[in-house]
């Protein structure tokens, strides 16, 4: 189980930023934002400074389609046996961070809304950090033992990963799908 958990944590935490690694936009520090703004100013002064291929490479390499953007609105849809789910991400850097959000809306085949959940950007980022933050490596402690907090955190994360995995299985075989309370 620990090996699977390590792979999941690695998958969640690979790289500093990723192309929409999580359904929210991370707000940058003023210095990081200034650097991104300067990248764009440099790349587009003059506007045809970079050829078509280099422009694409720079945007992809620095993930400028999402990192440091001023506004992002993304909508994706997925059909499922009972209808469709629409996922919408909204971000405007100039607005209060509390306005950042992810909305998931489930509709039946007739288009009637069955469920709608809205998560703040802060909630999404905090959840991502909870799931991707590794537990302390006990081999780095002088006595080689975990603290009670480390052990509780590892137990919570293992239980949550089992729930995440079970959530993708048929309902009659899945474990409970409510979040464990202690982390």
Q: What is the DSSP string of 92-138?
A: ETTS-GGG-EEEEEEEETTS-EEEEEEEEHHHHHHHHHHHHPPPP-G
Average pLDDT over the chain, rounded to whole? Answer: 82
Which of 24, 124, 125, 113 lies closest to 74, judged by CA? 24
pLDDT at residue 12 is higher than 50: no
Q: Which of 95-104, 143-152, 153-162 has the lowest mean pLDDT?
A: 143-152
Model confidence band, residue 10 (pLDDT cutoffs 50, 70, 90): very low
pLDDT of residue 156: 86
3 state DSSP class of 113? strand
3 state DSSP class of 91? strand
Q: Which of 16-20, 78-82, 156-160 has the lowest mean pLDDT?
A: 16-20
- What pTM, to 2 d.p., does this model score? 0.70
Cross-strand partners of 86: 77, 105
Q: Which of 74-83, 99-108, 109-118, 121-130 has the lowest mean pLDDT?
A: 121-130
* pLDDT single digits (tens) 94-104: 999 999 999 99
Model confidence band, residue 141 (pLDDT cutoffs 50, 70, 90): low
Model confidence band, residue 137 (pLDDT cutoffs 50, 70, 90): low
């Amino acid at each position: 189980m620990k090996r699977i958990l390590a792979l999941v944590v690695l998958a969640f935490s690979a790289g500093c930023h990723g192309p929409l690694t999580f359904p929210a936009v991370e707000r940058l520090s003023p210095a990081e934002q200034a650097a991104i703004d300067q990248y764009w100013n440099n790349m587009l002064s003059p506007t045809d400074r970079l050829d078509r291929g280099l422009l694409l490479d720079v945007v992809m390499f620095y993930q400028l389609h999402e990192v440091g953007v001023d506004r992002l609105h993304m909508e994706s849809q997925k059909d499922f046996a009972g209808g469709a789910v629409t996922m919408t991400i909204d971000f405007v850097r100039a607005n209060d961070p509390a306005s950042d959000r992810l909305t998931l809306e489930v509709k039946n085949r007739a288009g009637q809304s069955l469920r709608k959940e809205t998560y703040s950007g802060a909630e999404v980022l905090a959840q991502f950090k909870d799931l991707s933050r590794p537990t302390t490596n006990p081999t780095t402690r002088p006595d080689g033992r975990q603290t009670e907090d480390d052990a509780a955190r590892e137990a919570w994360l293992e239980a949550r990963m089992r729930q995440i995995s079970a959530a993708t299985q048929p309902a009659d075989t899945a474990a409970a799908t409510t979040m464990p309370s202690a982390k």
